[in-house]
Amino acid sequence: MKSRRIDIADALRQRLLSGLHLGELKHGQRLSSARELAREMGADPRVILAAYRVLEQEGLVELRPRSGIFLIAADASANGLHRRTHDWMVELLLEAVERGIPAPEFPERLRRSLETLRLRVACIECNVDQIDELSHELHTTYGLDVSGVDVYAMLESARPPKDVRRADLLITTHFHTHEVQPIATQLEKPLIVAELLVDGFAEVARRLAEGPVYYIVVDPRFAKKLGKIFSSARGSADLHVLVQGRDDLDQIPPGAPVYLTRLVRERLPDRSPLTPAIPPARVFSPATSRLLFTFILRANLHALTEP
């Protein structure tokens, strides 16, 4: 319950901050009510309200009784955001100083710890939807150079493709550990078996119990995989996986919960009548996120300290 609240607060914060940044949202603007969001995210309204309260504490939103939830006004927002940033930065730089890194040197040290090496990662999966989703996150959040590799194409070829041979790191999900592990061992490459945030799937499972759920994908192989993932869920017959470009999307009744992969979202026309669920803020589990950062930082720090 608690972690669910934090996850939702994370997702909302990211959405609000990037909305402000991109100009899609304005300071002082009214936001969706807890009830509306609850429906949209398939969560308990009380959890949504608790998440909003977290953001209120941070000075990002304002809850006005009997009136609604508002994005904080510009001036107040500067203060709220400042307070958050201030507290975070004080702790961060205090730790740096205590570790013998003078505050003025810290930004440069951090930059070098991230950017000394250009690290290449081969993202190995069985369908373009997931390869795209993982690759996008590996690139934007972790700053890695990513090549997507189709696991079956890799297994069929006589020797691993160049993208795999040149990679500093291999990444796959547990579905393909047994196929990728031998290749990682043979090439002596580190392998991270990524755990994905299961929230998205858990949400779909919850909503299946209430009625039909639509899931739109690009790759028919991912459609099949989704069918398998949800085969044991209650109401699995209510899961309709549609392949973009093959299946008729007009059959989706208005107001039905719709999930889209990132690739579909990108290809969807701007004025699509669909109202998709909120995409998750992040793809990898906290444990995987930690593994990725550890790999990146150790590689860079090692390169920096090598004579």
Partner 1 sequence: MARRRSEITEILRQRVFSGLHLGIIRHRGRLPSVRQVARELGANPRVILAAYRTLEGEGLIELKPRSGVFVAAPDTSVADPTPRRADWMVDVLIKGLQHGVLPRGLPQRVGQCLDSVDLHAVVLECNDDQLYSVPEELQRDFGINATGIEIDSLQAGSETPTILRGVDLLVTTAFHQKEARALAKHLGAPLIVITMCTHLFTEVGRLLPQGPVYFIVSDPRFARKLHHLFESSKGAANLRILVLGSDDLKEIPDNAPTYLTRLSRRRLKESPLLNRVLPEDRVFSAESARQILSFLIRTNLAAASSNRR
The structure tokens listed for 157 are 């070829």
Give the three-state DSSP class for 160: coil
Own/partner contacts of 287-292, CB < 8 Å, gap of 24 or more, are 287/195, 288/192, 288/194, 288/195, 288/196, 291/192, 292/138, 292/142, 292/192
> Residue 87: how many CA atoms within 13 Å on its side-chain side?
7
Between 113 and 244, whose beta carbon lies closer to partner 1? 113
Q: Please report which helix (H) or strand (E) contains residue 51, including its range.
A: helix 45-57
Cα–Cα distances in angstroms (integers) from residue 49 to residues 6, 57, 206, 275, in the given order: 11, 12, 19, 22
DSSP string of 199-238? HHHHHHHHHHTTS-EEEEES-HHHHHHHHHHTTTSTTGGG
Cα–Cα distances in angstroms (integers) from residue 157 to residues 85, 153, 154, 180, 181, in the given order: 51, 6, 6, 14, 16
Least distance in Å: CB of 205 to partner 1? 26
Nearest of 59, 57, 18, 15 to residue 37 by alpha carbon: 15
Rounded CA gap, 13 and 52, in Å? Answer: 9
Least distance in Å: CB of 282 to partner 1? 7
Between 94 and 209, whose beta carbon lies closer to partner 1? 94
Least distance in Å: CB of 208 to partner 1? 30
Least distance in Å: CB of 33 to partner 1? 23
The structure tokens listed for 54 are 């977290």
Least distance in Å: CB of 91 to partner 1? 8
Between 17 and 198, whose beta carbon lies closer to partner 1? 17
Q: φ, ψ for residue 134 (rounded to 5)?
A: -70, -45
- What does the binding site for partner 1 look like in residue numbers (CB under 8 A)? 10, 13-14, 17-18, 78, 82, 84-86, 88-90, 92-95, 97-99, 102-104, 106-108, 110-111, 113-115, 140-143, 282, 286, 289-290, 293-294, 297-298, 301-302, 305
Least distance in Å: CB of 121 to partner 1? 15
Between 92 and 198, whose beta carbon lies closer to partner 1? 92
Least distance in Å: CB of 112 to partner 1? 9
Between 140 and 275, whose beta carbon lies closer to partner 1? 140
Between 115 and 266, whose beta carbon lies closer to partner 1? 115
Between 217 and 291, whose beta carbon lies closer to partner 1? 291
